[in-house]
Amino acid sequence: MAASHHPNYKKIYLTLVILLAISVAGPFIGIKWVTIITAFGIAFVKANMVIQNFMHLKWERRIAKYVLAASGALLLLFYYGVAPDVQAHRGQHWVNDDALAATARGIPAPHGSEGGEAAHDEPSGGGSDGSPAAPAAAAAAAAESTAAPNAFNARAAFAANCSPCHGTGGRGDGVVAAALNPRPANFADPAFWRSRTDAVLIRTIQGGGAAVGKSASMPAWSSLLSEAQAADMVAYLKTLSH
């Protein structure tokens, strides 16, 4: 029978509390990689301390460790063997339109878009560079369009749907841009306009990046924009280039 081992539990407990305090303080420094280390790095350290000292795995027979490790290994094998096929948004020969659309829908819009989600997002949207400016842009655009109230308003549509990735100024620096690879297109870049015709851009807007062999992170907007409206959008994008 395993002999009883009892380390200094009070010391371990205090260490755990201090580590908890560090993991809470981490995000206040405001550096992303520091937060990742203080959040997840410390979680692993804490979990290991609890497992070794409180669960006594440190003094347990090897077979128990093998049982747990085998379980974890099988989980990783089966999970990550399958997950990329069902959870990624696109593969070599397919694109998950619904997932991409959900991503686009969930991004804060100045006006309520799908059901209650946009309303939920608004209180949290502040602070990021894209969202506070978006309502202002939409309001300005609304004032402009009083002459033809039903006319398609490319500027408002851009602020609502495109700015989260492409940025309010169209420079490819939206809130979400950092998470995307490749980065969203920068419409202020002359090179961008040299390499594309209007027809290609209309096709990109309507069919998404995948339709023209570009990144599938660019969703298809054909359900929202007609071809004429996509053409209006291209005209608006050109105003962003200078």
Binding site for other proteins (CB under 8 A): 1-2, 4, 6, 9-10, 13, 16-17, 20, 23-24, 26-27, 35-36, 38-40, 42-43, 46-47, 50-51, 53-56, 60-61, 63-64, 67-68, 70-72, 74-76, 79-80, 83, 87-89, 99, 102-103, 106-108, 116-117, 119-121, 123-125, 164, 176, 179-180
CB of residue 78 to other proteins, shortest distance in Å:
8
CB of residue 86 to other proteins, shortest distance in Å:
9
Indicate the residue among 120 and 151 with the shorter CB distance to other proteins. Answer: 120
Tokens of 169: 């100024």
The DSSP secondary-structure symbol of 161 reads: I
Instruction: With CA atoms as reference, report the closest residue to 216 among 60, 90, 121, 123.
Output: 90
Indicate the residue among 102 and 212 with the shorter CB distance to other proteins. Answer: 102
Instruction: Specify whether the CB–CB gap between 233 and 158 falls below 8 A.
Output: yes
Indicate the residue among 43 and 228 with the shorter CB distance to other proteins. Answer: 43
Dihedral through CA 191, CA 185, CA 175, CA 205, nearest 10? 150
Give the separation between CA 97 and CA 106, rounded to whole angstroms.
14
Indicate the residue among 1 and 147 with the shorter CB distance to other proteins. Answer: 1
Give the separation between CA 171 and CA 240, rounded to whole angstroms.
8
CB of residue 125 to other proteins, shortest distance in Å:
6
CB of residue 10 to other proteins, shortest distance in Å:
8
Hey, which residues does 90 pair with through a beta bridge? 95
